[in-house]
Chain A
């Protein structure tokens, strides 16, 4: 039976290997045929005429992720601190339930919400179609909230009480003790929460595709539409063939590398946690 358990445990490794293999086998030839530099830095994506540059999508992914973090991380961290250290005990359970609900809402529902609420609102305020970098950032910021909140709350609560009491004993107020003694002690956890948020934002496809406009051009402003790496795959996978299909697999490889980078940063951050 031990062998069965071991075999099951190895499936994970197998899956990662298979995913890497399939992406590379399908993506690398396209990399080669298009030329890696041309592929990554080319600013024109027009599969019909053989132009496969994904620079607009790379920038698009980076922009919306940065926007989502700029909006979602401060709000999430502060709300997490509130739940851990400011919330009346009775309201805490309700707060957590609300955060869990937010975490469980399917991305397609978020996308729909963005489409029927955020897009018209953006259009009314700023003009244009309303499908833009800004709208996508707001929606993604909202989607990463629950991750950032719950990881922040957990890590703030995990800080030893001695840290908090030590600050109070110096005459610090509750607020100062929480923000300047406890929160710094929770920083590795909070950073990990934000990194998880980055991962979620950069990897989100369904919701983004519904509100970002999806023009494969380098976005020239926050009110312009853009296309992310994920959107590029979702939009064209259905009908792509040959080199086009390979280019999409190569897009996935690029996306995979980005998420791996986030994971590595996360692991490094965890390794640095002070004893």
Chain B
């Protein structure tokens, strides 16, 4: 009896006689090692240098120029993300419902929408920032609302695309089952299709949260950089990323910046883990 392992990953015996293959294998392996080292170095550097600089005063409720607290920025991040999502998520999901459930495939309107979404997705964030500054700031000044509105436009194509993919992945069988019971299209959408697509939509929203948390350029000139706790949606506020940028701008890139980088990295990792769990559920629960 012989066991034959899969060829991938195992080095075939005769490789040594084939120099090009050996070279290619060395090349991909080296690339993977370099990438792994980069990830380890970037993450390790921030974790090691950031974690030991965390101190209670960095989390004081009130920001002063002595404690350079990031708590207002953390709260600002939460508020900004929540508000941006509140604006973008319904719009994005409803657009996806239209595209996946109502629109005729390949109609001119659908093509225009796709093109628009792709264009939006490709616009650099600083251009969004400029646009927000020119439009929303004139309406509301440097404010949470202006920042969130700008951010919402950035997140829209992302939420729309992931939600549409999730909706299209729902088997037609489910819909037909609903129609068979005499339900109208709207009822089928809300009672059957959307719940079935929920994990995929959620995964897209988590991605959007990640984008929102990491954004700087679109916010500096829309929500401003006030280090204080926001009092209303019309007050200026900074998110953690903007906080870090502001620290750099003020030439303060010592302990506070390291600690903030660490906190941002932890948030990123947590969001990634969450998205992993959700999409794992998505795959596992496909027949649920």
- Is chain B a partner of chain A in the same complex? yes
Residues in A lying within 8 Å of B, measured CB to CB? 1-2, 4-6, 8-13, 15-16, 18-19, 22-23, 26, 74-76, 78-79, 81-83, 85-89, 95, 97-102, 104-113, 115-117, 142, 145, 149, 168, 173-176, 178-179, 199, 202-206, 210, 230, 233-234, 237-238, 248-249, 252, 255-256, 259-260, 262-263, 267
Q: Which of B64-72, B175-183, B226-234, B269-277 contacts A (4 or more CB under 8 A)?
A: B269-277
Partner of A202, one of B39, B90, B124, B134: B124
- B126 contacts A176, C-beta separation under 8 Å: no
Q: A8-B90, A15-B116, A176-B20 are in contact. Are A252 and B29 (CB under 8 A)?
A: no
Q: Report the nearest B residue to A253, measured CB to CB.
A: B127
Q: A-facing mask of B222-255, CB < 8 A → 1, else 0?
A: 0000000000000000000110110010000100
Q: Which of B5-13, B52-60, B78-86 contacts A (4 or more CB under 8 A)?
A: B5-13
A108 to B135, CA, bound (A): 25
A111 to B260, CA, bound (A): 13
Majority-rule SS of B interface residues: helix
Q: Within 8 Å CB of B28, what residues of A?
A: 78-79, 81-82, 86
Q: Which of A78, A98, A108, A199 has the most CB of B within 10 A?
A: A108
Report if B261 contacts A (CB, 8 A). yes
A76 to B257, CA, bound (A): 29
Report if B18 contacts A (CB, 8 A). yes
- Known contacts A116-B253, A203-B122, A203-B126; 4 additional CB pairs below 8 A are A76-B35, A145-B35, A206-B241, A233-B130
Report the minimal beta-carbon distance from A62 to chain B, rounded to whole angstroms: 14
Q: Within 8 Å CB of B98, what residues of A?
A: 2, 5-6, 8-9
A9 to B107, CA, bound (A): 14
Q: A78-B32, A81-B28 are in contact. Are A113 and B45 (CB under 8 A)?
A: yes
A161 to B269, CA, bound (A): 34
- B123 contacts A86, C-beta separation under 8 Å: no
- A203 contacts B9, C-beta separation under 8 Å: no
Report if B217 contacts A (CB, 8 A). yes
- A78 contacts B91, C-beta separation under 8 Å: no
Q: Within 8 Å CB of A206, what residues of B?
A: 216-217, 241, 245
Q: A13-B113, A86-B8, A88-B9 are in contact. Are A97 and B272 (CB under 8 A)?
A: yes
A238 to B241, CA, bound (A): 17
Q: A97-B272, A102-B42 are in contact. Are A255 and B31 (CB under 8 A)?
A: no
Q: Within 8 Å CB of B46, what residues of A?
A: 109, 113
Q: Which of B113-146 contact A (CB under 8 A)?
A: 113, 116-120, 122-131, 133-135
- A115 contacts B216, C-beta separation under 8 Å: no
Q: Report the nearest B residue to A8, measured CB to CB.
A: B94
13 chain-A/chain-B pairs, Cβ below 8 angstroms: A1-B186, A19-B153, A78-B27, A101-B43, A102-B39, A107-B217, A112-B257, A168-B7, A179-B24, A210-B248, A230-B217, A237-B129, A237-B133
